[in-house]
Structure 1
Amino acid sequence: MEERISPTVRLRRLTRGIRRWRAEAGLRQEDVAAALDWSKPKLSRFENAEKSAGPAEVLALAAVYGVPDAERDQYVALALQARQKGWWLRYGQDALASHFEEYIGLESEAAEVREFSGELIPGLLQTERYATELMQAWIPRADEVVMKERTELRAQRQARLHEANPLTVGTVIHEPALRQLVGGPEIMREQLKHLVTSAKLPNVTVQILPFSAGAIPALGSPFILLSFPNQDDPDVAFVEHLTGSVYMEDPVEVETYTLNFGALRSMALSQKESITFLNRLAREL
């Protein structure tokens, strides 16, 4: 089975290792910087993933911390992988907002994505026409070239649902997202039918949270949880807002999102009930 490699995920793993080495050695940043004749800001950038440490820097740090050769070599390999170019970078800068570039990098290597969506159909399950209507509504409006690249980018992401080792997706969609007539009845009918088709994939779960559920956890706060195949990569919670996004790796924060997703899933309709709900709503349009 081919391993998926994302430089974004590898950089995060490398950064956590570098921080752990220093903590276990009981050294201060200034001590390490002095030993290597580096500036303290240089070391800080490596420890905060603001810049990727290269193989030479990893070797130097491992020597200071007394890291065993086998572990050192693993992190040298990570440093090389972290400097690779992700497939998503083939698209223009305007096609991929800087705050979303990191998300794409994480999703590219994720094994599972869990998403609570309140007002929009999740991106991995959007039809091209639905997504185009959303892009045309945003202000400032992107030009045709950028919208075309964004459409291709989304198609590349969605292709993972159909690979031999597919991405597992679990979604809880609040009813407002289904009743918002993005593009009008025809486009929404097509979108709803696409959700039904997607829900029949063995790796995709679609659950609808109807209005009748009443007060629900995380109301007004959509979010995404990403899980990875390697146990060294902790789950990440992702929340997007109008001009940026927030990534959370702190175990306590991630656990809060995990508990909320579990509660939302338990309150939502079952997969079978959700398909019935979607088919009925499509007929009503």
Structure 2
Amino acid sequence: MDRPNLPLNALRAFEVAARQGSFTQAAIELRVSQAAVSHQIKGLEDLLGVQLFTRTPKGLLLTDEAIALFPVINESLDRVGRVLDGFLDGRYQETLHVGVVTTFAVGWLMPRLTAFRSAHPRIDLRIWTNNNRVDISKEGLHMAIRFGAGRWSGMEAVPLMEAPLTPLCAPRLAENLKKPADLHGHFLLRSYRADEWPSWFEKAGAVCPNLCGPIFDSSIAMADIAETGGGVALLSPAMFGDRLEAGRLAAPFPARIETGRYWLTHAAHKPPTPAMLSFQEWLLKRVSKDPSLSVPKAGPVAT
């Protein structure tokens, strides 16, 4: 029996809709109308003689047929796209999309990217920053650098560096901070991880005061406020070394707590590309040679 001639546009529409779980989001990614996506999917279903999606109030559900088809189409289109991307400027390059939590991107990675590009001129590295909430598949990323415990469903995670937290503030405030209890008279800047300040005060052997005020999802924002004297923030010195060296921030106490690490992650079910392997090797070497960092000894973690 002859196989049907499958239209590439319809296969692409199916792959994006299945990945996004929404015709609306698929239309946004493909830069077409929702009606166009629906038309492509309907045509593909008619051609194959099967139903691919079931609509529910929470979004699209893949049928058994779609579940069988999706990984094949996803991997095939991904491979074709990677190769085609390489010829955009008339010579072959491998494009690498990496999501990076903003604190790590600004505080450590970006100042070192010139060295990576010099060492790997055939890799077009594209950085996409985030606030530590990232979905590699839905965002079309190859890898992501994120902060946490190293366990993300379906991800392989390689530890990069530890990032213990300690109070950082403007030098003029630090002059009057002789013991942890002195912090009670200052505005303590908080992240969305509510246990950080209580954990630090416990480590420092002091009582944590009642915490109030705004909650931040950006360490950089907290560092900016702390630098102007607007409060004291729990931050990683490794990510703000330039400000500490320049005397814009000060670390008044030695006590530090570890709440997680930075990890390099990628989808466990997809084999890494040569560009992914090159970036991982370069990253691990640079981290290991940085004397200011505490490098974890644990090996890769797959979940």
TM-score norm. by structure 2 comes to 0.28
- Pick the structure with more strand per residue: 2
**Which structure has greater helix proportion?**
1
Q: Which has the greater radius of gyration? A: 2
